[in-house]
Chains A and B, each alone.
Chain A
Amino acid sequence: MYFDSIRVISVYFSMNHQLNPHQWVNAHADYLYAFAISRINDEEQAKDLVQETFLAALEKIGNFEGKASERTWLTAILKNKVIDVYRKNSSGLKTIDIKEAEREQDDFFDADSGHWIKEHGPKEFGIEDKNHIINKEFEQVLQKCMQKLPVLWKAVFTMKYIEDEPTDTICTELKVSASNFWVIIHRTKLNLRACLQKNWI
């Protein structure tokens, strides 16, 4: 009984979210801007996305069912716009950056045996300890290493690990085959890890 009534109450509240567009900018603009800029890294483009999000949201007001909070709903709209940007950035024939990134890992493994070549083999970062608190300096190195990734790889990696999109959605959106998806995930991590090893230790 007790649990039932809790459920009833929570369902009632969760269905009861309201939209108040007169307060949108005040309540959510900075949040949405921070969301966009953490993914796009371009202030002007991030601003545009925030604006587009609000305008798109106005058109969709009729579809709002009150299941999610206003902020969650707006963020979902923005997220789709961010994914559009990922797709635009990684489409076309910009494969030079990929070739270069692939070349970087040519000598990670022995061509015949597939074994790590000793100088490229993983070494301790000194942060493997579970309780280690990541410091700002390490974050900056990581950020730089992320920026160095080919656009398509970064888009695939971010959609998987940050936006938490299903694999087949990523493949469709970014036009990569399933087998290429796994190759990209693998190669991205190899380069990211190697970059951290090179610039941190």
Chain B
Amino acid sequence: MSNLKKIIYNCKQATFLIEKKEISRLSFREVIELRIHLYGCSFCKLYNKQSRIINNMVQELFRSSMHSEFRLDDDFKKELQDRIEEELNKN
């Protein structure tokens, strides 16, 4: 099989390139290979879409957990501020 044919049918390589392009630039050759692959592969077309959605959702997950109900208890906070004051007084 020629190299070109290999990539046209190779979803493992195509999904690798999909991940790579999210972070860095693909080479010209990789861009062409991926484009040809996606043209003919509905699985990877869907993967491409889902991959980006997953990135967004993971980011959203971290953002929303920032608004969670996790709070430090007052005793711990008091101790902490006391400790800070203690350090400040040292200097």
Which A residues contact B (CB, under 8 angstroms)?
21-22, 24-26, 29-31, 33-35, 37-39, 43, 47, 50-51, 54-55, 58, 108-109, 113-116, 121-125, 127-128, 134, 138-139, 142-143, 146, 157, 160-162, 167, 182, 185-186, 189-190, 192-193, 196
Q: With contacts A34-B70, A160-B23 known, is A122 near B10, CB below 8 A?
A: no
Where the two chains meet, the residues of B that have a C-beta atom closer than 8 Å to any C-beta of A are 6, 9-13, 15-16, 19-20, 23-24, 43-44, 46-47, 49-51, 53-55, 57-62, 64-68, 70-72, 76-78, 80-81, 83-85, 87-88
Known contacts: A25-B84, A162-B58. The answer to whether A193 contacts B50 by CB under 8 A is: yes
Q: Is the CB of A182 within 8 A of B19?
A: yes
Contact partner, A22, options B61, B66, B85, Cβ 8 Å: B85
A29 engages B58 (CB within 8 Å): no
B28 to chain A, nearest CB (A): 18
B residues near A39, Cβ cutoff 8 Å? 62
Q: Contacts A58-B88, A146-B58, A162-B62; is A193 near B47 (CB within 8 Å)?
A: yes
Task: A54-B84, A58-B87, A142-B58 are known; give 9 further A-B pairs, CB within 8 A.
Answer: A24-B81, A34-B70, A43-B70, A113-B10, A114-B9, A124-B46, A186-B19, A193-B51, A196-B54
Contact of A185 among B19, B53, B70 (CB under 8 A): B19
Distance between A164 CB and nearest chain B CB, rounded to angstroms: 10
Q: Which of A50, A114, A134 contacts B11 (CB 8 A)?
A: A114
What are the nearest 5 A-B pairs in CB distance? A114-B10, A38-B65, A114-B12, A25-B81, A122-B46
Main secondary structure of the interface of A (DSSP, over half): helix
Closest chain A residue, CB of each to CB of B65: A38
- B71 surroundings in chain A (CB, below 8 A): 30, 33
**A192 and B54 contacting across the interface, CB-CB below 8 Å:** yes
* B43 & A25 in contact (Cβ 8 Å cutoff): no
